[in-house]
Structure 1
Amino acid sequence: MGIASTPTVTLGNRFARELPELAVAWQAEEAPGLRLLVLNEPLAAELGLDPAWLRGDGLGLLAGTAVPEGATPVAQGYAGHQFGGFVPRLGDGRALLLGELTRPDGALRDLHLKGSGRTPFARGGDGQAVVGPMLREYVVSEAMHALGIPTTRSLAVVETGRTVRRETPRPGAVLARIAASHLRVGSFQYAGTTGDADLLRRLADHAIARHHPDAGSYPGLFEAVVAAQAALVARWMLVGFVHGVMNTDNMTISGETIDYGPCAFLDAFDPRAVYSSIDHGGRYAYGNQPAVAEWNLARLAEAMLPILHDDEGEAVAVAVEALGGFRRRYHAEWSAGMGAKLGLSAEAAAPLVDELLPLLREKGADYTSFFRTLPRTVIHGDEALDDWAARWRALEPDTAAMDRVNPVYIPRNHLVEEALAAADEGDLDPLTRLLDAVTHPYDERPELARYAAPAPPDFGTYRTFCGT
């Protein structure tokens, strides 16, 4: 691994220093031929990085093959419940935390890679990533950010020049992503398996300092994570986002969305919607996401019990009380959000929402289009929906406010696949046009009409894959 040719980029190693038990010093694999596919210039500027330099001499930083002097890249260790089964040692099998960037405003942000090669946590994997899934994460994470949903951000996707074996040989790629941190529920589970209470305390102290400085205590930290995740999942549900793999190692302590593998947005409204090719039982279906989040937080509570109280019985009581706040917080966030989508208060909207969602499911209505076009749709052509809409209009909703919360453009599944297929052939224009639409989701533009249209009838059943 080389040294980056600029003295202006500094990568801190706070995680590696404070939590060496959860970090394995490692290096990205060399890449035979780096080629920049997409760079998030506005995000680079937010981080104090020069986009022109990143496109040139800084390309090695984006792939991990050249890092600033003094940086300590590490693979992070964590555990996780995967589809309900506990795996005590997962970790960054194909990823690296290069270090922490300090933004001009003083905030720390992790610079983290996916697809940078095998690490000691790789198990049977090859440590590689391919172009399609990395571009998917770039598009969807930036769309989520534009929708105001807390998320990791995508800084760049770089082709490596390596050929990666999947179903067929594919071009390899590295995603450079940015996060408030990569601490997960699985990080606490990993620390908990060691039986080292001091490690748990240091991890909790690190999490409080990075994310929840007002928590004041370890029980306060757990309550803060419960609140952050309740708000996050409510926002997912409001925009029709389906994460796809809500394992505990994919739930952050910060409350950011992480790991866009088998993810998608709803087309027709259906609580049973599953887009992950490996979710055979529907554990992570759209409608199950709030319950799964609560279950994951219970696993966090179990890992934190030794530091919640000296007495185990009291620790359990503290955890149960804090976890009990999840449903209240989630319901409040979701109710307020649904009210806003209908231009009403949460109280006024509640009975209408209770009627509307079963109707949308029955009619197979496009979730995003329904809310965006509702103020301008006079007749739906369906007796039940028209009756519902008449009662909604009688409440005099704020339709201008609705347009500020109901997006025109989301990463519609057929458009994402179209863009990724073109990118596989070397054509990045469809990706660029899609990004232009979804990063300005509320600004309706006539020339982008196809990006607002529902999936064509022949699109069929949609499945996404984790890319490993």
Structure 2
Amino acid sequence: MNISLSSEFADAVPEMAVAWEAVPVREPVLLALNEPLAKELGLDPAWLRADGLSFLVGNEAPGVAQAYAGHQFGGYSPRLGDGRALLLGELRDSDGELRDLHLKGSGRTPFARGGDGLAAVGPMLREYVLSEAMFALGIPTTRSLAVVSTGATVQREEPLAGAVLARVASSHLRVGSFQYARNTGDHDLLRRLAGHAIARHYPGSTYLELFSQVVAAQASLVARWMLVGFIHGVMNTDNMTISGETIDYGPCAFMEAYDPTTVYSSIDHRGRYAYGNQPIIAQWNLARLAEALLPLFSDDEDEAVKLALKVLGTFDEHFERAWMGGMQAKLGVAVDVKPLLKDLLALMHANHIDFTTFFWKLSAAARGDAEPARSLFLDLAGIDAWIARWRALNPDADAMDRVNPVYVPRNHLVEEALAAGADGDLEPLRRLLDAVTSPYGERPGLERYATPAPQDFTTNYQTFCGT
């Protein structure tokens, strides 16, 4: 099959694209293939399963390692970049949109910073499952095209089987990309990078409008994460896209019992990226983008800062609109839900109520049967009073069912599927994918996929970045 990949990123900012080749994979074995996505990209799934495996691991063509900087847990690193990844190039999808084809785990690059550049089967399958679940939930995200076993051994705390993930995105431009360009002191490079971002994502925008569009996109994205209980886990500036797509499914997880302080990441020791902190961190990251873009806003630095702060100040409004609009939909009403929501979340927190379970069971209460939702609570008087107030608003149960998922990637089931997949048993992965890629409406036989993890699992659960 003849595949035409363009090199628009590398052509626009060659200073930020290091030509590099993936580590050769001699005996690739396909573990997961996203056939619908392959077809969208004009790629023949049958070819990808056979001769195309070599293409999926980067054996057929060199790529480029992208340079970027970033604040990691608040500390600035001026030179990060794709340490174990390669951008193979861009291709057009069936709608004519340009999409990046990117590899993860393809070997060391000049940005590897002492790492081995490899990836293990488990973390790559995690990204496949989580990103496809997010896509099914309607949340902007990078997509997973395939996971391919390399036959290599990856040394972490123990020897693990190696794998490469083929990932698709509308681009891999990050806040950290602009931080890198600004740090060079080359304003022409910064202009070209911004021009490339505008052409790619927000055609016709000025530089200030580019920033405004990114603020709005990221505010909406984080609100949508929180509406389904998603915790990114590592919201560094190099993991925030200009497009507003979710990227880097490392130590991420879905919240079980509602608690704004929930942290699952093993490396987030102080809770910087806890569930409830995500809007604050997103705004902080966007302030770093503003700093990088200041020379493009005005030649007068004071004026540039003034313009940037005005745009940054719109974040709260964008987030509030997306969050409250989403909560109105989850509760099936079209009126102001602030007081109702505040009381509900306090009840859920105090009673340790599973976030996903409560909302999908609540629609039964809108149809007259409150027991499935109220039985989750110890404080029956409290929830009964709340349900009475809510019912007075005439909630639309059918509308609620369209936005409240029954199936999300439950953490214990993700770990079960990854452990089995690492041992060569892909059936648990397939069953999990079947559930989470059709998340709305109960289906017979999938009861365990709608059931929260046992308490002893959740109490000590941690996720890891996989590097």
Residue 269 of structure 1 is aligned with which of 258, 262, 268? Answer: 258
Structure 1 match to 2:303: 314
The SS at the match of 1:157 is strand
In structure 2, C-alpha distance between the alignment counterparts of 1:214 and 1:415, rounded to whole Å = 45
Give the aligned residue type for 1:405.
V
**Residues of 1 paired with 2:424 and 2:335: CA distance?**
47
Is the deviation greater in 81-90 or in 438-447? 438-447
Alpha-carbon distance in 2 for matches of 1:38, 1:153: 13
2:202 alignment partner AA:
H
Which residue does the alignment assign to 2:234? 245
Q: Any conservation in 2 of the 1:80–1:249 contact (CA below 8 Å)?
A: yes
Measure the CA separation in 2 of the matches of 1:281 and 1:39: 37
Letter in 2 for 1:202: R
Is the partner of 1:110 in helix, strand or coil?
Answer: strand
Q: Give the distance between the partners of 2:38 and 2:25, measured in 1 at CA.
A: 23
The residue type paired with residue 278 of structure 1 is I
**Is 1:181 equivalent to 2:171 in the alignment?**
yes
Task: Answer whether contact 1:338 1:346 (CA < 8 A) is retained.
Answer: no
1:3 counterpart residue number: none
Q: Is the 8 A contact 1:336 1:346 kept in 2?
A: no
Whether the 8 Å CA contact 2:88–2:101 is kept in 1: the answer is yes
Paired residue for 2:212, among 223, 229, 232?
Answer: 223
Deviations 1:211-253 (A, max 9, x none): 11142x1000000000000110000010000000000000000
d(CA) in 2 for partners of 1:278, 1:260: 14
2:346 counterpart (351, 355, 358): 358
- Of residues 205, 224, 229, the one that matches 1:235 is 224
CA distance in 1: counterparts of 2:53 and 2:381, whole angstroms: 58
Q: Do the aligned residues in 2 keep the contact of 1:112 with 1:177 (CA within 8 Å)?
A: yes
Confirm or deny: 8 A CA contact 1:93 1:123 kept in the other structure: yes
SS across alignment from 2:361: helix
1:96 aligns with 86
Contact 2:57 2:148 in 1 (8 A): yes
2:442 matches 1:441: no
| Distance apart, 1:38 and its partner CA | 0.3
2:332 maps to which of 321, 327, 343: 343
Partner Cα separation in structure 2 for residue 290 and residue 384 of structure 1: 29
Q: Secondary structure at the match of 1:92?
A: coil
185-194 vs 415-424, which deviates more? 415-424
Q: How does 1:148-297 map to 2 (within 5 A)?
A: 148-215=138-205, 217-297=206-286
Q: Which residue of 2 aligns with 1:329?
A: 318
Distance across 1 between alignment mates of 2:204 and 2:398: 36
Give the conservation status (yes or no) of the 8 Å contact 1:340–1:346: no
Q: Does the 8 Å contact 2:202/2:210 carry over to 1?
A: yes
CA distance in 2, matches of 1:309, 1:254: 23
TM, length-normalised to structure 1: 0.96
Return the letter of the residue paired with 1:39: L
Q: Match for 2:36: what amino acid?
A: P
Verify: 1:422 aligned to 2:420, yes or no.
yes
Return the TM-score normalized by structure 2: 0.97
Letter in 2 for 1:333: A
What 5-or-longer segments of structure 2 have no aligned partner? none
Counterpart of 2:401 in structure 1 is 403
How many Å apart are 1:376 and its aligned residue?
1.7
Amino acid at match of 1:75: A
Secondary structure of residue in 2 paired with 1:225: helix
Q: Which is worse superposed, 390-399 or 147-156?
A: 390-399
Q: How many residues are aligned here? A: 456
User: Residue in 2 aligned with 1:466?
Assistant: 465
Correspondence 1:133 to 2:131:
no
Q: Which structure 1 segments of 5+ residues have no match?
A: 1-5
Q: Which whole-Å deviations, capped at 9, do the CAs of 1:364-409 have from their partners, x for residues lacking one?
A: 0000000000122523142111211111112110110000000010
What letter corresponds to residue 173 of structure 1 in structure 2? A
Instruction: Work out the CA distance in 1 between the residues paired with 2:309 and 2:401.
Output: 39
Q: Is residue 37 from structure 1 mapped to residue 31 from structure 2 by the alignment?
A: yes
Q: RMSD over aligned Cα, in angstroms?
A: 0.9
Deviates more, 1:96-105 or 1:185-194: 96-105
- Please tell me whether residue 63 in structure 1 is matched to residue 57 in structure 2: yes
Amino acid at match of 1:31: V
User: How far off is 1:457 after superposition?
Assistant: 2.6
1:25 counterpart = 2:13: no
Contact kept? 1:409, 1:442, Cα under 8 Å: yes
